[in-house]
């Protein structure tokens, strides 16, 4: 009887611990769960119904003086660094993208509201090396 009770206690503890661990495991794109955004910007900035979040449309709306990128053969955001690189006159892509995505730290910020402000939406982490890289993808316009 003691063996049965011990076994049941052990099984219960195992179930409790595994359930608790499963609930605490962070949802990390490409590490603990499937990466829904393997191309970063272009996987999120899409046309959806009558709303158009594509980069070329957003630039035209919010930065009308920005050079036209519609005819450019781009890999986003890598190609943007041609003008927005560390050694360029224009503001860097790092500064621009972080300001745009974290401009309001509240539920009114769409990146926080819909994507939980997760760094791994835009960045890719190599768990073996700890190296963080920027996701890139072909333009979607």
pLDDT given for residue 81 in this prediction = 95
Q: Which residue reads 């660094």 in tokens?
A: 81
Three-state SS at 4: helix
Question: What ranges do the domains of the chain cover?
Answer: 1-25, 35-138
Per-residue pLDDT reduced to its tens digit, 13-40: 454 445 555 568 888 999 999 999 999 9
Beta strand ranges found along 1-141 (DSSP E):
47-48, 51-52, 75-76, 123-125, 132-134, 137-138
111 contact partners, CB below 8 Å, separation of at least 6? 101, 102, 117, 121
At residue 122, does pLDDT exceed 80? yes
| pTM tops 0.85, yes or no | no
CB burial of 52-66 (b: ≥16 within 10 Å; e: otherwise) equals eebbbeebeeeeeee
């Amino acid at each position: 009887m003691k063996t049965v009770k011990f076994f049941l206690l052990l099984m219960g503890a195992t179930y409790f611990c595994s359930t608790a661990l499963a609930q605490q495991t962070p949802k990390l794109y490409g590490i603990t769960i499937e990466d829904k955004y393997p191309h970063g910007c272009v996987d999120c900035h899409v046309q959806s119904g009558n709303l158009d979040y594509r980069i070329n449309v957003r630039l035209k709306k919010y930065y009308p003086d920005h050079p036209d990128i519609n005819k450019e053969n781009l890999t986003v955001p890598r190609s943007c660094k041609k003008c927005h690189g560390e050694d360029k006159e224009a503001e860097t892509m790092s500064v621009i993208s972080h300001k745009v995505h974290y401009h309001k730290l509240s539920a009114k910020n769409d990146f926080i509201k819909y994507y939980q402000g997760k760094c791994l939406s835009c960045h890719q982490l190599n768990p073996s090396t700890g190296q963080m890289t920027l996701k890139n993808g072909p333009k979607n316009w």
